[in-house]
Amino acid sequence: MAQDWSKLTVLTYPDARLRKRCAPAKSFDADLASLAKRMLELMREHRGIGLAAAQVGVNVRLFVMNPTDEPANDKVYVNPELRDLVGGKEDEEGCLSLPEIRVQVRRATRARLVAYDVSGNPVEVEDSDLVARVWQHEIDHLDGVLIIDRMGPSDAIATRKQLKELSAKAKSVAGKKK
């Protein structure tokens, strides 16, 4: 029986599921396609350009992205691997799981991505700048890595209060559920 993904939401820091390394997808079926569709909906609702399965609490190596907001440019990558990382540039990044937080992160400026689409067809693409940055950001999520793990000391100081507030909010919500 297929899963009902309609209740999925974007997890926020410090949810422990954001720190888990995701397992490779083993089956390319209607359930996986349905998950990807729901993730694209959530990405749009939250005005993001990428969303990893870890961010919705699903332990599978899958991410969706669209840097243009044109539905024809929706991309789904399953079991992605980065290759041939070239260059390096520091730039500002945000994250749907860390609302209101923006930090400087150094990323490769060009990369090759090897993955599968939701039907299990191999995909191999090369890109640069924003697209390459999104790939690296989302694959970090699949490995349990957040942008706050890659920020420098000045951003760590600048975001300390916001991170404490996110933690306090999570504790408050958890307390109300008991």
What are the residue numbers of the active site? 138
* Three-class secondary structure of residue 126 per DSSP: strand
The CA distance from 37 to 27, in Å, is 16
> Hey, which residues does 91 pair with through a beta bridge?
105
What is the DSSP code string of 143-178? Answer: TT--GGGT--HHHHHHHHHHHHHHHHHHHHHHHHH-
Q: Prior bond to 14 cis, omega within 30?
A: yes
